[in-house]
């Protein structure tokens, strides 16, 4: 069984020693040199020395623990024996070792497979929780309590634990409701403002509610760590997909709460700004975002219709919103004379925010051209290159080391974690042993 890559020891804010997290290489903020596993440089990552017991699966929880791992925490991913995280089977597409869905949010983690229906394996899970600084879980409400892994039980043994729970609809009246991103997008109102005005409600092109909840979770954990540094005690934080979804509705939710205006679907049109939408060119659509009167002036100058600035229907943003249909007809008549790429270039030269509707591949290529180094190459525990992933989006000055361990195989680090926890390795001479 491959061992986790260690490079010395470190002490977390809990004061408990543990191995330094796996997977450092010589990348800095995405600038890659020849990748290799090395002793971490003097510039330590912010969360180095902290241990995260990750009982979460699918997307929201694993996305959050990915961010913690990228920032230096030792993340130990607890997976179901035999099958692992559900997303290992969510494909195609598949990578060399798993599904690309699983790979997207599980780099820089160690994997241990536990059967939480087994008393022996539950003991291992409890031992992990007792040594962790942070625990993240997204089981149905009550499951962790029944296993003896709930907040009350674990915090009694480990009062510095930061215990983060993610549910779909909270732990109260909505506790029994299954928490799937797609359903929350529907029930929470996001689909009511997504899609064409004359079409059905549509989900976003990515599991956006899960992603937003994961980012909210990171903010909560980091705030809890700061609080613990002052008080010496941990805390419980609870997140639910519905609340994160409502929070992300921002101006759309406030339109209802503050003015009694119930937003609807507008396709790519902004409800309060014009022109702020996709406009048709000779060969495709161009996203144009005029947030100021000055940008609108530059737009119509570039299109050769400067007289529109003085037209009372378009003289201010509020007027342009009211007369949006007429404005769009006039703008598209001019845009139809050239390609989206040519108009993008012309408008960009005048400071008008505009861009053609690109593919994900083109988006990554754009970031590369702009020097943003959007990807990093991940390396397996045997030193093999396992392809590129989108890097953590935070850039640091001074630069910090970048971790680049490939997503783990199921139970790849199980024996070494069990040994670290004082339990017997599962595999001895090729045979499965009791814990």
Domain with residue 349: its CATH number is 3.30.1540.10
- Residue 256 domain-assigned (yes or no): no
- Residue 4 domain-assigned (yes or no): no
Same structural domain, 352 and 383: no
Distance CA 152, CA 379 (A): 39
Q: Which residues is 113 bridged to in the sheet?
A: 79
Phi, psi at residue 322, to the nearest 5°? Answer: -65, -35
pLDDT, averaged across the chain: 89
Distance CA 139, CA 291 (A): 43
pLDDT at 274: 97
Q: Tell me how many domains the chain contains.
A: 2
Largest Cα span, the chain: 84
Statement: residue 57 has pLDDT above 80: yes
Distance CA 271, CA 262 (A): 11
pLDDT, tens digit, 9 for 90 and up, residues 337-383: 999 999 999 999 999 999 999 999 999 999 999 999 999 999 998 88
Statement: residue 320 has pLDDT above 90: yes
Same structural domain, 145 and 199: yes
- Residue 269 domain-assigned (yes or no): no
Give the dihedral of Cα atoms 387, 390, 392, 395; nearest 10 deg.
100
Give the DSSP letter string of 313-338. Answer: TTSSHHHHHHTHHHHHHHHHHHHTTS
What distance, in Å, lies between the first and last C-alpha atoms of the chain?
16
- Residue 220 domain-assigned (yes or no): yes
Same structural domain, 318 and 380: no
pLDDT, tens digit, 9 for 90 and up, residues 192-245: 999 999 999 999 999 999 999 999 999 999 999 999 999 999 999 999 999 999
What confidence tier does 26 reach under pLDDT thresholds 50, 70, 90? Answer: very low
- Residue 260 domain-assigned (yes or no): no
CA angle 16, 164, 167 (to 5 degrees): 155
What confidence tier does 431 reach under pLDDT thresholds 50, 70, 90? Answer: very low
Distance CA 210, CA 323 (A): 37
Q: Which contacts of 357-362 are long-range, i.e. CB under 8 A and separated by 24 or more positions?
A: 357/278, 357/284, 357/285, 357/286, 357/287
pLDDT at 38: 38
Instruction: Please report, rounded to a whole number, the percentage of residues in the chain having pLDDT higher than 70.
Output: 88
Statement: residue 35 has pLDDT above 80: no
In 236-338, where does DSSP find H-type helix?
Answer: 241-248, 250-259, 293-303, 317-322, 324-335
pLDDT, tens digit, 9 for 90 and up, residues 294-312: 999 999 999 999 999 999 9
Burial of 428 (0-12, 13-18, 19+ CB in 10 A): exposed
- Residues of the domain holding 398: 9-247+374-432
pLDDT at 313: 97
User: Cα–Cα distances in Å, from 206 out to 101, 199, 298?
Assistant: 11, 19, 34
- Residue 235 domain-assigned (yes or no): yes
The mean pLDDT value for 55-64 works out to: 97
Same structural domain, 56 and 131: yes
Tell which of 313, 330, 356 closes a domain. Answer: 356
Q: Say which residue the tokens 């510095």 belong to.
A: 160
Same structural domain, 349 and 378: no
Same structural domain, 28 and 151: yes
Write out the catalytic residue numbers. Answer: 210
pLDDT at 37: 35
């Amino acid at each position: 069984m491959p061992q986790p890559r260690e490079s010395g020891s470190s002490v977390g804010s809990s004061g408990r020693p543990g191995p330094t997290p796996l997977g450092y290489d010589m990348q800095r903020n995405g600038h890659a040199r020849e990748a290799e596993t090395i002793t971490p440089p003097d510039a330590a990552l912010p969360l180095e020395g902290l241990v995260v017991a990750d009982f979460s699966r699918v997307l929201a929880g694993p996305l959050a623990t990915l961010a913690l791992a990228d920032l230096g925490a030792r993340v130990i991913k607890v997976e179901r024996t035999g099958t692992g995280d559900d997303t290992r089977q969510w494909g195609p597409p598949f990578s060399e070792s798993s599904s690309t869905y699983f790979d997207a949010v599980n780099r820089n983690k160690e994997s241990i497979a536990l059967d939480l229906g087994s008393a022996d394996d539950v003991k291992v899970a409890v031992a992990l929780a007792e040594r962790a600084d942070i625990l993240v879980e997204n089981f149905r409400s009550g499951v962790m309590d029944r296993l003896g892994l709930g907040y009350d039980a674990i915090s009694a043994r480990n009062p510095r634990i930061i215990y983060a729970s993610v549910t779909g609809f909270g732990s109260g009246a909505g506790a029994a409701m299954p928490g799937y991103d797609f359903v929350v997008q529907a029930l929470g109102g996001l689909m009511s403002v997504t899609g064409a005005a004359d079409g059905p409600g549509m989900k976003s092109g990515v599991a956006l509610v899960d992603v937003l909840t994961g980012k909210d979770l990171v903010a909560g954990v980091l705030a809890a760590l700061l609080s613990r540094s002052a008080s010496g005690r941990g805390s419980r934080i609870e997140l639910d997909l519905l609340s994160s979804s409502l929070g992300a509705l921002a101006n759309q939710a406030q339109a209802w709460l503050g003015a009694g205006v119930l937003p609807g679907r507008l396709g790519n049109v902004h409800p309060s700004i014009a022109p702020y939408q996709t406009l048709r060119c000779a060969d495709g659509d161009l996203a144009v975002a005029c947030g100021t009167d000055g940008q609108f002036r530059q737009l119509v100058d570039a299109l050769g219709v400067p007289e529109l600035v003085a037209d009372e229907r378009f003289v201010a943003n509020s007027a342009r919103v009211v007369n949006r249909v007429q404005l769009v007809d006039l703008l598209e008549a001019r845009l139809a004379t050239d390609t989206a790429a040519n108009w993008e270039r012309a408008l960009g030269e005048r400071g008008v925010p505009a861009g053609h509707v690109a593919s994900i591949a083109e988006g990554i290529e754009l970031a590369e051209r702009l020097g943003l180094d959007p990807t990093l190459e991940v390396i397996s525990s045997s030193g093999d290159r396992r392809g590129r992933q989108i890097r953590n989006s935070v850039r640091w000055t001074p630069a910090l080391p970048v971790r680049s361990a490939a997503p783990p195989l199921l139970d790849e680090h199980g024996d070494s974690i069990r040994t670290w926890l004082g339990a017997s390795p599962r595999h001895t001479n090729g045979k499965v042993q009791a814990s």
